[in-house]
């Protein structure tokens, strides 16, 4: 299953995906399919979660990387492989190469999360930190390939990669044969294209919905134009789908076989990640939570049963903390207030007593006494509170005002 540059745009077939499935037997896990009662109630139809966040290396990327590297000619394997990635693809290539006995070099941005850099090294790759953004890292990897003869392993723009990712689609049909809709995140398009090839060949009636982050949504304008269009400076917390231009190979497949592409906001991504953690007890990265975000943003608009593909769970702990707090704020469960009080002993304790009465949990207190804006006997306090929802936020604000405090924000 090896392709030359000349035929790199050939289509991917169900036979390719079935061949990839045989190749991946004993290598990639058949990941769990978990029902979600909460999301089912919200969507008005049964919702199942395809847990690729529990795949080896923490994402679906191992599937495509292994199939691509396993299909190399002996002389290509001998030259080694090179990849560029901020995380999931890096780990997939590193482990696949180690399993196949191929030398791998992975270029990662200098700002890549340390846990992802460490995991990539632990899987056996030589990691080189280069550039501040993935585009710079990608250029360095391609230059390395040209200089050394190493084979560049693209994260999504190759038929072998798409065939490997398509094995997720075969598993979905085996685990949930009655599915009516599959919802999957889209970055470059490799996973969505692969799933679409597998699913549409066997169940042409099954609807496939792709999901992109609003700030990195290259597919809607590309599909409208009939060709891949570049979105300048894509911006989203979901780095797994933060791709500025669709891949040439997956674009043709997505345009033909994916029924709809929706976009979700950063607030919806945050709320989805929080929901996966609290309700499903699953650690999911923002990109992996994008199908759940689509369900949250459009409840009742999906025919069921629905399968939401949780594509990855490699989230940096620091980002997780920020996203969870953002998700709580989006749900009205996190409140930041700023107010002034008389700077005297016991004043802060009195304020906290008011908050205790209304059952607001204080997460953080910032107490400023020395500021030119403040009077001689004044202090400014900023409070970060955990609340029970929008109605509770209103109750907290009202209690503070009734106690004589002026809430400034």
Task: Quote the CA–CA distance of 220 and 198 in Å, as a whole number.
Answer: 23
Q: Are 214 and 265 in contact (CB under 8 A)?
A: yes
Name the pairing type of β-strands 306-310 and 181-185.
parallel
Q: Is 233 considered catalytic here?
A: no
Look up residue 11 and give its two tokens.
């289509």
Tokens 């949780």 label which residue? Answer: 310
Q: Is 61 a catalytic residue?
A: yes
Please list, in sequence order, all residues whose beta carbon lies within 8 angstroms of the beta carbon of residue 83, skipping any fewer than 6 positions away. 65, 89, 90, 93, 104, 105, 106, 107, 141, 152, 153, 155
Out of 36, 50, 59, 61, pick the active-site residue: 61
Distance CA 316, CA 306 (A): 28
The two structure tokens encoding residue 44: 């008005």
The CB-side HSE value for 215 (13 A sphere, CA atoms) comes to 15
What stretch of H or E contains 401?
A: helix 390-402
Residue 161 contacts residue 64 (beta carbons within 8 Å): yes
Locate 168 and state its tokens.
């997720």
Alpha-carbon dihedral of residues 165, 257, 283, 267, nearest 10 degrees?
140
How would you label 222-255 residue by residue, b for 16+ Cβ within 10 Å and e otherwise? Answer: bbeeeebbebeebebbbbbbbbbbbbebbbbbbb
Residues 6+ apart with CB under 8 A from 84: 106, 107, 108, 134, 137, 138, 140, 141, 142, 155
The DSSP symbol for 240 reads: G
Please identify which of the residues 59, 97, 222, 311 carries the catalytic annotation. 311
Look at residue 105 and give its three-state secondary structure: strand
- In eight-state DSSP terms, residue 231 is P
For 379, half-sphere exposure in the C-beta direction (CA atoms, 13 angstrom radius) is 17
Separation of CA 115 from chain center: 16
Asked if 243 and 185 count as a contact pair (C-beta separation under 8 A), the reply is: no
Cite the active site residues: 61, 311
């Amino acid at each position: 299953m090896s392709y030359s540059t000349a035929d790199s745009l050939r289509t991917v077939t169900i036979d390719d995906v079935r061949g990839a499935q045989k190749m991946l037997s004993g290598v990639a896990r058949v990941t769990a399919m978990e029902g979600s009662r909460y999301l089912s109630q919200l969507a008005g139809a049964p919702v199942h979660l395809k847990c690729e966040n529990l795949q080896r290396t923490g994402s679906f990327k191992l599937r495509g990387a292994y199939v691509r590297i396993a299909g190399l000619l002996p002389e290509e394997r001998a030259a080694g492989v090179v990849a560029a990635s901020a995380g999931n693809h890096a780990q997939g290539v590193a482990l696949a190469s180690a399993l196949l006995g191929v030398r791998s070099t992975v270029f990662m941005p200098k700002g890549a999360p340390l846990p992802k850099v460490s995991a990539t090294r632990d899987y056996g790759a030589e990691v080189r930190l280069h550039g501040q953004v993935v585009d710079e890292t990608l250029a360095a990897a391609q230059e390395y390939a040209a200089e050394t003869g190493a084979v560049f392993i693209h994260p999504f723009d190759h038929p072998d990669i798409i065939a490997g990712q398509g094995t997720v689609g075969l598993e979905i049909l085996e685990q949930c044969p009655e599915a009516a809709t599959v919802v999957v995140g889209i970055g470059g398009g490799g996973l969505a294209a692969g799933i679409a090839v597998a699913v549409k060949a066997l169940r042409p009636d099954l609807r496939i919905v792709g999901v992109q982050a609003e700030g990195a949504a290259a597919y809607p304008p590309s599909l409208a134009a009939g060709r891949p269009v570049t979105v300048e400076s894509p911006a989203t917390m979901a780095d797994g789908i933060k791709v500025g231009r669709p891949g040439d190979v997956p674009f043709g497949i997505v345009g033909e076989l994916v029924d709809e592409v929706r976009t979700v906001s950063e607030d919806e991504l945050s709320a989805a990640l929080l929901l996966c953690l609290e309700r499903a007890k699953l650690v999911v990265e923002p990109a992996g939570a994008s199908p759940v975000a689509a369900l949250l943003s459009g409840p009742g608009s999906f025919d069921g049963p629905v399968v939401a593909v949780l594509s990855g769970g490699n989230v940096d702990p620091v980002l997780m903390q920020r996203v969870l707090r953002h998700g709580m704020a989006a749900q009205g469960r996190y409140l930041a207030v700023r107010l002034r009080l008389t700077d005297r002993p016991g004043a802060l304790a009195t304020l906290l007593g008011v908050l205790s009465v209304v059952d607001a949990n204080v997460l953080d207190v910032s107490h400023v006494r020395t500021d030119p804006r403040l009077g001689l006997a004044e202090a400014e306090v900023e409070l970060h509170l955990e609340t029970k929802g929008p109605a509770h936020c209103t109750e907290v604000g009202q209690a503070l005002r009734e106690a004589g405090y002026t809430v400034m924000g």
